[in-house]
Chains A and B, each alone.
Chain A
Amino acid sequence: MTPASDNAITLTRKDLLGLKDLSRDEINLVLDTAESFKEISTRTIKKVPTLRGTTVINLFYEASTRTRTSFEIAAKRLSADTVNISASTSSVVKGETLVDTAKTLEAMNPDIIVIRHSCAGAPHILARLVSQSIINAGDGFHEHPTQALLDLLTIRQRKGGIEGLKVVIVGDIQHSRVARSNVYGMTTMGARVTLCGPAILIPRSVEQMGVTVETDMKKAVRGADVVMMLRMQFERQRSIVFPSIREYSQLFCLTGDTLELAKKDAIVMHPGPINRGTEIAPEVADGPRSVILDQVSNGVAVRMALLYLLAGGRQ
């Protein structure tokens, strides 16, 4: 018999809003817990009764398939009830404010609210306003903590650890919440991060975050342990920065040749969805060093871990 008080672990925070303030211990706690959850997704009956009777609301103001589905599957595997609210089909269309939406939801007593919003800080406002636990599924260009956590888990699995690794993140850094959260998380875990992309898309004084900047992709990728490609988000800024997709690709697409410059056992990551041929060559995306699909399955495990660690935590 193992008394529950032995080896008790906690995430003492009410919410998960970003990786900026997460300590190494907290990150390790989430990753370790996620590892244990991976096994459940391989069973025939992919369900455990742990969060039976809890309600998880997915409040998505921005379109998303993979993140929302991942959270939904994670909650359901823990036997929680899920409710999906997407802004375009809700009373937000009638002009309801975030605050009112939050208060309305709070009155229905859910346990956890997962929110994706185009405004940085929206999850933080929610966290202050309602007593429920809030998980940030992406706020504007600011943070996307669950993505970074699953990225860290993937790296840890493939490389045995994160400390000291050379990680290169390539793409539109300026507009990438994935990049930001990963920079916070990876520097906390001791990796050496290099950011690469068109100079105009790399935030000024980003070196203050403890990273190196390199606008020449070949130089950036040389000797890397991890190459993470970001989607070139043409829907965000159209042709302001680049006259054509082809020009971007010529400079910043991860081809097999470029990948040769990285370490022999380097892994290739991408948060998805990928633009084949734009930022990543198809044979690289589908190649043996790509861990893109591992990222996806780790995503479910990480989200299960977070729901588990945050649920019922306020006694």
Chain B
Amino acid sequence: MENKKRIVMDADRIDRSISRIAYEMLEDNKGAEDMIVIAIRTGGILLARRIREKISHIEGVEVPLGILDITLYRDDVIMRGKKPKMGETDIPFSLDDKRVILVDDVIFTGRTIRAAPDALMDFGRPRLIRLAVLVDRGHRELPIQPDYVGEKLPSAFWEEVSVNLSESGGSDEVLIL
């Protein structure tokens, strides 16, 4: 069976989704006060920066950004011979009493995201944690749902959904492979 690459979101759609996510976040939060954006490495980093930029345009405020690597909190880390490559976690501020927005590009089974609040709790006690994703591709295996979603994209389990943002080369697009 031939593998066709389908572009399911182009640059404009991505941009509008990110804008909407930023507005929704600010609306819920009634502004940007005490808001912290934590990107889940690696898929969430570029997206988190974009969201931050939007918030900066809208509210004129720079929201703090941290990067969370959840490799060590995954439920399947030591069950496999190959270990996923670890990155550094960089959260140089306290999370106590803050409103944390976790950001990742795609939510799929939910196992990656499940690990994130566990990791964050080791850094402090946030007032609340919300989740923002660009793409929800379904097939959840755990009871985890995003609070802010760019697009719901139905996909087959065996397909691969790839989010590319131009900062990493190429153009903005979401592909199903």
Contact = CB atoms under 8 A, between A and B. Distances in A.
Contacts of B122: 43-45, 47-48
Contact of A2 (B43, B123, B124): B43
B7 to A, nearest CB: 19
A73 B78 CA distance: 19
A1 B43 contact: yes
Interface in B27-61: 41-43
A12 B80 CA distance: 12
Given A49-B73, A54-B78, A39 B84 contact: no
A4 B74 contact: yes
A106 interface: no
A1 B105 contact: yes
B139 to A, nearest CB: 11
Given A1-B112, A50-B72, A8 B89 contact: no
A18 B21 CA distance: 52
Nearest to A50: B72
A61 B84 CA distance: 35
Nearest to A47: B122
Interface residues of A, number: 34
A313 interface: yes
A14 B36 CA distance: 42
B76 interface: yes
Interface in A250-308: 308
Contacts of B86: 33, 36-37
A27 interface: no
Interface of B: 41-43, 69, 72-74, 76-90, 104-108, 112, 118-119, 122-124, 160
27 contacts: A1-B104, A1-B105, A2-B84, A4-B80, A4-B82, A8-B80, A9-B83, A9-B85, A10-B82, A33-B86, A35-B88, A36-B86, A43-B122, A45-B122, A45-B123, A47-B122, A48-B73, A48-B119, A49-B118, A50-B72, A50-B78, A308-B72, A312-B79, A312-B80, A312-B81, A314-B81, A315-B79
